[in-house]
Amino acid sequence: MSATLVIDRRPDPAMPTGCGSGCSCASASKPPVPPPSDGTVSVNGVEIAAEAIAREIQHHPAGDGATAWRAAAQALVVRELLLQAARTAGFAPSPERDDAGRWELAEEALIRAALDLAPEPQRAGEAECRRYYEANVHRFRMPDLFEASHMLFEPTSDDAAGWQEAEREARVLAAELGDDPGDFAEAARAFSACPTARQDGSLGQLRRGELVPEIQAALESLAEGTTGRVPVRSRFGWHVLRLQRRIPGKTLSFEMVAGKIAEMLDARAWTMSAAAFVLHLAKDATIEGVVLDADVLSSLPSSGRALP
């Protein structure tokens, strides 16, 4: 039994790999979703292939096929608008490497260059950053920490008798222990079924929410430097808990976060500028088969700039 089992990081339930007949239907690729009409999609006479829209659909999950198709088509229309703008401006692709050393594709380089045609927004000043900080100060508070230890008593069997015996052992030990940390450490090394027994039962410093709810609630009720007298049951077994200390979270000062706030506000301003630029391109273009809406502008490529 690992100490990490106490921490609530359960994976999502596994998806089935098939219907059970051996056909592997769940892993098979889904057929392309057809457009909601027979009309073609084009930008200034350049048609966007139905196959390209079908491939793009995977990046636009939606409640129904028509909505997913429309979002995919809109995203490719935006892409085509930017490519045409780059070519009209006479840009040649100049690919750059990403942080992993991979070269971007030629079309990606052209899109990045086209987005640089968007007007450069005014950078956030100290006054604007401070207003944001004061309106959102709760976002800059470090979380509370709990320095805790535990002992785990696993049931020897998964029936009622096994759980009752584990509870009995945990209750006997919890009743005998006082609040001395040395006594708890000695007992953890001797009796705990968790590998943390080798570290005197220590779970280290944990944020609120990292533990399963029943363990978290029990720790919240303990005073600093005390051992719980009543064992707590989780799906792993019975736990005897000790709260060594609480470390209250601190609010970061404006000076500590001003740079990050400025980056975020600058990125937000650039996103708005880029969206307005794309809308301007769309207004002057002949677009057939789909109508752009505001939501699609959230899928704008980043032009290499940090987005929030």
CATH topology of domain 142-247: Chitinase A; domain 3 (3.10.50)
CA distances from 169 to 163, 191, 222, 307 (A): 10, 9, 21, 54
Residue ranges for the chain with pLDDT beneath 50 = 1-33, 36, 302-308
Please report the pLDDT score of residue 170 as a whole number: 95
Nearest to 112 by CA among 86, 75, 74, 84: 86
Amino acid in position 160: A
Order across the sheet with 41-43: list the strands.
46-48, 41-43, 287-288
Please report the pLDDT score of residue 39 as a whole number: 62
How many residues are given for the chain?
Answer: 308
**pLDDT tens-digit readout, 157-187:** 999 999 999 999 999 999 999 999 999 999 9
Domain with CATH 3.10.50.40 in the chain: 142-247
Please report the pLDDT score of residue 1 as a whole number: 40
